[in-house]
Amino acid sequence: MPDLVIAVDVGSSSARAGVFDKRGVLLARAEAPFATAHPEPGHAEHSSDEIWTAVCQAVRGAITAGHIAAEAVKGIAFDATCSLVTLDRAGRPVTASLTGEDRWNVIMWADHRATAEADEITATRHRVLDHVGNVMSPEMEIPKLLWLKRHCPDAWHRYGLMLDLTDFLTWKATGRAAVSTCTVTCKWTYLAHEKPGWQSDFLSRVGLDDLQDRASLPASTLPIGTSAGPLTAESAGQLGLPRDCVVGVGAIDAHAGGIGVLGGLDATGLNETLAMIAGTSSCHMAASPDPRQIPGLWGPYYDAMLPGHWLNEGGQSATGSLLDHILDLHAEGQSLGADRHAVIAARIEAALAADGFAFVDDLHVLPDFHGNRSPLADPDSVGVIHGLRLDASAHSLTRLYFATAVGIALGTRHIIDALNDAGYAIAHIRLTGGHAASQLLVQLYADATDVAVSLPEQPDGVLLGTACVAAAGCGLYPSVTAAAAAMTRIGRTVQPAAAARDFFDRRYRAFLLMHEHRRAVSRLA
């Protein structure tokens, strides 16, 4: 009987489970949805009970779909968005919502309720900020925790365990709070390269001196891919897996994707290669053997993705979701059917064949509709559309969608410039996630950045990276790095089109100018 592992990826609206063999081949997968509540503008919440139910449905569904013998599954691991889960000391949900309902006990990664708290934390200039690009993002957990303490004091006094979503799933599976170095280093200001990792003076300074007790935070963390222990009897029954199935210490979803596409590269390869995990949002992951502080990019984080390496992380908070929004915004976009992105992509291809880049003319889009995560680190940044006319035709939507996609791709170029200014020499993007399925977006990323874009042989790099974590955790490989070297492979590569260089260079100059003008207008307001 072959040794198999299960990878579980919890995204923004669903849980996906994949069964892999030790070579990294996906044998079966299944998916189950969960809800998101938006009780206030800027607020986004989940239910941890509902997420766990979706996880169990997805795992059982994958086993059934692949006709898998459960006893062949030796390991399982979880990745998830960097969302915050709040519980009492008995592990029961406690509300994180202004509704007061205990059901809504997860603050989603995209929630921006804590913008004011993030600004206050940035103003402290504490040295932990040296490892988040010098600016605290409202998408991180510390400002959200401070917001909860201020706005939900009754709930705050009920909290007894608070975890990043990945660590919550590991806890549900094992009964052990096996906190990943990845989650708390990247989102909780834990300094993995220091002892102690928690900076008590910082927590006191921002008003969270009771956090370690309130959240039951362990003094130390566990590296990605180490063993968190076997399943409990209860979780084994819920997941449909044997009790001796071992849980590997997991990672944030983007970091799992980084493992899935960067695994096996040497130091030179890492310095020249950017992992890009792009779906609802986009994350850009670069690793190096030395720490590189880059204003506006998260990190440098030690041991947060690849063992023994430092991580710099860029990102765009709205990419796939922005393209959805553009279609929702335009009257023509609401009648294109379920495969509307493919319909628009075909129209763009026809327009480019007929008129070249001239069809987009002087229509430009600054894509910061949900703030700028990197490299400006400005959550208050807004989107800008330049060049609209009195045209509501289908053609106007085609032009607007293409201009938006170009703006998104130029945002990645902006991030690569920041990385290269700090010592990287990015000449290659390894892309995974939903955008990798779009020929339009793949070519745009290559053309806009003027670097080659490679796609993994296994299209779902996030699930594959988590499968590597599971394989290391249960001992099929001695480390995450060894697992990734054996289980990951690159498929096709798309080169930038030389004929497109002048167009994208001009668009990039306009893109940077729009950032300047947007800031000037905001100052006037």
Cβ atoms of residues 107 and 147 within 8 Å: no
Which is it for the CA torsion 149, 172, 225, 412, positive or negative?
negative
Tell me the CB-side half-sphere exposure of residue 42, using CA atoms within 13 A: 12
The model's pTM = 0.92
125 backbone φψ class: left, alpha, beta (φ>0; ψ -120 to 50): left
What pLDDT does 472 receive? 98
Number of H helices, E strands in the chain: 18, 19
How is residue 215 written in tokens? 């959240």
What pLDDT does 335 receive? 85
> How far apart, in whole angstroms, are the C-alpha atoms of residue 53 and residue 107?
18
Residue 210 CB partners (closer than 8 Å, separation 6+): none
In three-state secondary structure terms, 480 is helix
Burial letters 464-501, b for 16+ CB under 10 A, else e: bbbbbbbbbbbebbebbbbbbebbbeeeeebebeeebe
How is residue 27 written in tokens? 């044998």
> How far apart, in whole angstroms, are the C-alpha atoms of residue 30 and residue 338?
20
Cα–Cα distance list, 310 to 254, 270, 271 (Å): 15, 11, 11
How many C-beta neighbours within 10 Å does residue 413 have? 20
In three-state secondary structure terms, 47 is coil
How is residue 156 written in tokens? 């705050």
**Any idea what DSSP says for residue 369?**
B
The backbone torsions φ and ψ at residue 470, rounded to the nearest 5 degrees and listed phi first, read -65, -40
> How far apart, in whole angstroms, are the C-alpha atoms of residue 55 and residue 16?
7
With 0-12 CB in 10 A as exposed, 13-18 as middle and 19+ as buried, what is 194? exposed
How many C-beta neighbours within 10 Å does residue 25 have? 14
How is residue 454 written in tokens? 């490679």
Cβ atoms of residues 452 and 460 within 8 Å: no
Nearest to 288 by CA among 173, 424, 100: 424
511 backbone φψ class: left, alpha, beta (φ>0; ψ -120 to 50): alpha
What's CA 216's distance to the chain center, in Å? Answer: 25
Length of the chain equals 525
Place of tokens 């990878």: 7
The three-state DSSP-derived secondary structure of 79-105 is EECCCEEEECCCCCECCCCCCCCCCCC
What pLDDT does 133 receive? 87
Cβ atoms of residues 298 and 312 within 8 Å: yes
The CATH code belonging to domain 320-415+499-524 is: 1.20.58.2240
Place of tokens 């990419």: 319
Cβ atoms of residues 242 and 73 within 8 Å: yes
CA dihedral 120, 123, 127, 129 (to 10 degrees): 60
Cβ atoms of residues 214 and 143 within 8 Å: no
Largest distance between two CA atoms of the chain:
68
Burial letters 510-519, b for 16+ CB under 10 A, else e: ebeebbeebe
Place of tokens 């052990």: 176
Domain ranges of the chain: 320-415+499-524
For β-strands 45-46 and 4-10, DSSP reports them as unpaired
Tens of pLDDT along the chain (525 residues) come to 689 999 999 999 999 999 999 999 999 999 999 999 999 999 999 999 999 999 999 999 999 999 999 999 999 999 999 999 999 999 999 999 999 999 999 999 999 999 999 999 999 999 999 999 899 999 999 999 999 999 999 999 999 999 999 999 999 999 999 999 999 999 999 999 999 999 999 999 999 999 999 999 999 999 999 999 999 999 999 999 999 999 999 999 999 999 999 987 989 999 999 999 999 999 999 999 999 999 999 999 999 999 999 999 999 999 999 999 999 999 898 888 889 999 999 999 999 999 999 999 899 999 999 999 999 999 989 999 999 999 999 999 999 999 999 999 999 999 999 999 999 999 999 999 999 999 999 999 999 999 999 999 998 999 999 999 999 999 999 999 999 999 999 999 999 999 999 999 999 999 999 999 999 999 998
Long-range contacts of 227-236 (CB under 8 A, 24+ apart): 227/473, 227/474, 227/475, 228/170, 228/173, 228/174, 228/176, 228/178, 228/473, 229/174, 229/176, 229/178, 230/174, 231/76, 231/173, 231/174, 232/173, 232/174, 232/175, 235/172, 235/173, 235/174, 235/175
97 backbone φψ class: left, alpha, beta (φ>0; ψ -120 to 50): beta
